[in-house]
Amino acid sequence: MSAAERRRAYDCDITYLTANEAGFDYLRDGLALRVDDLVQRPYQAVLIDEADSILIDEARIPLVIAGGVAPPHKLAHLMAVVVRQLAAGRDYRLDEHGRNVFLTDQGIARAEAAAGCPNIYAPANELVLMALQNALHATVLLRRDVDYIVKSGRIELVDEFKGRIAENRRWPAGLQTAIEAKEGLDLQQQGRILGSITLQNFISLYPKICGMTGTAATQAQELKDFYGLEVVEIPTNRPVIRADEPDVVFPTRADKEKAVVGQILKVPQHGQPVLVGTASVAESERLGALLSNTGIQHEVLNARDDEREARIVARAGPAAGRTSRWVATMFARSGDCTSSEPIATKPGASTTSFAAAPAGRAIPGRRASS
């Protein structure tokens, strides 16, 4: 949309758009040189759908607008090779819960020798140290098919809350370059950060904030602490007949996946669709392979191919030629599987859905039984 079209949209009594788009318009207005170039007007009130996802889950993720062009640093490829020679425990230690990794004294010595740099902490070697730290972060903390995917020769970030490609989102320039080097890709030009704001800070600009979601009650205290918002539970129109089964924890990933396949086999082959939620692209494809080996017809929905996924979701519902087994990442599109034709075609049939997430890692914003 052009600036004039955006301005007309914001001049309406009610403007419907995504939180990210509104945030980026705010950042673009911050770069405007003339009043006539502004598109937003003074903030009045905001009504947020999936409020817990926007206000809590994604609240601290910064929206960043970048411009200008900075050439990628060639040290990235060298440091990717250096880091591959380091061993966990001996050369670096990992704080997985704190999402941090740091070199040991032995690792520093090995890195200096491999890079041909006698003192990597000397002021003159600042760029070398930064490239090494980024390479270590990219190799140890960021996982392919979990945190990002490689698509058409480019790095695409995976939204950790939706399980889909995060459009136009990149890591800070040095880290993005380190991941490209790790995957053996051509290094892309990097932009300079011109403005940044979190959704929490942006939404707080509105004098009146309200929203709706099916899972606000569990986030009531956080909504009160951060935004001063009260949560009101609205009773369902009809009695809830859904059966919420207790969580089951398995000692190993293999045990869990075997149990998931066994549970799917117990469900009737016709008349009762099954939706399986996974926590990553890699897990959805691994479970899909197990189902294929067992001879179970299914569809895998994840960030790997959004276009194919859209075609699959578009035909959800019709009885002719439909697939009743779905393996989806983060349940990101489960609410979109709608049709004018009933999904469950047999009398008394229902839909079974459950999560196959690692222990200690719930699927954000969704209950496995929802």
Q: Considering the chain, what percentage of its residues have pLDDT values greater than 90?
A: 31
Output phi, psi for 82, to 5 deg. -60, -45
Residue 94 within a domain: yes
At residue 360, does pLDDT exceed 80?
Answer: no
Q: Are 153 and 186 in contact (CB under 8 A)?
A: yes
Determine the pLDDT at residue 277: 84
Indicate yes or no: pTM above 0.75: no
Could you list the residue range(s) of the whole structural domain that residue 56 is in? Answer: 3-65+199-227
At residue 66, does pLDDT exceed 80?
Answer: no
Residue 97 within a domain: yes
pLDDT band (50, 70, 90) for residue 94: confident
Same domain, 40 and 136: no
Residue 233 within a domain: no
Q: How many domains does the chain have?
A: 3
Residue 241 within a domain: no
**What CATH number has the domain bearing residue 120?**
3.90.1440.10
**Lowest-pLDDT choice from 12-21, 223-232, 353-362:** 353-362
Decide which of 258 and 341 is more confident: 258
Same domain, 78 and 32: no
The tens digit of pLDDT for each residue in 36-51 reads 899 999 999 999 998 9
Same domain, 96 and 156: yes
Residue 248 within a domain: no
What's the rounded Cα separation, in Å, for the pair 63 and 25? 11
Cβ contacts of residue 91 below 8 Å, gap of 6+? 103, 104, 106, 107, 110, 111
- The H or E element containing residue 136 is helix 126-140
The tens digit of pLDDT for each residue in 316-329 reads 655 434 456 777 77
Same domain, 53 and 79: no
Placement of tokens 């989102």 in the chain: 169
Same domain, 183 and 204: no
- Assign 62 to helix, strand or coil: strand
pLDDT band (50, 70, 90) for residue 340: very low
pLDDT band (50, 70, 90) for residue 347: very low
What's the rounded Cα separation, in Å, for the pair 149 and 156? 5
Same domain, 26 and 125: no
Same domain, 84 and 119: yes
**What CATH number has the domain bearing residue 299?**
3.40.50.300
254-274 average pLDDT score: 81
349-361 average pLDDT score: 48
Q: Are 332 and 279 in contact (CB under 8 A)?
A: no
Cβ contacts of residue 273 below 8 Å, gap of 6+? 324, 325, 326, 343, 344, 351, 352
At residue 232, does pLDDT exceed 60?
Answer: yes
Determine the pLDDT at residue 316: 61
The tens digit of pLDDT for each residue in 102-158 reads 899 999 999 989 888 888 898 888 888 989 999 999 999 998 988 888 988 889 888
- Sequence letter at residue 78: L
Same domain, 81 and 137: yes
Could you count the other beta carbons within 10 Å of the beta carbon of residue 313? 19
End-to-end Cα, the chain, rounded Å: 36
What's the rounded Cα separation, in Å, for the pair 133 and 78? 12
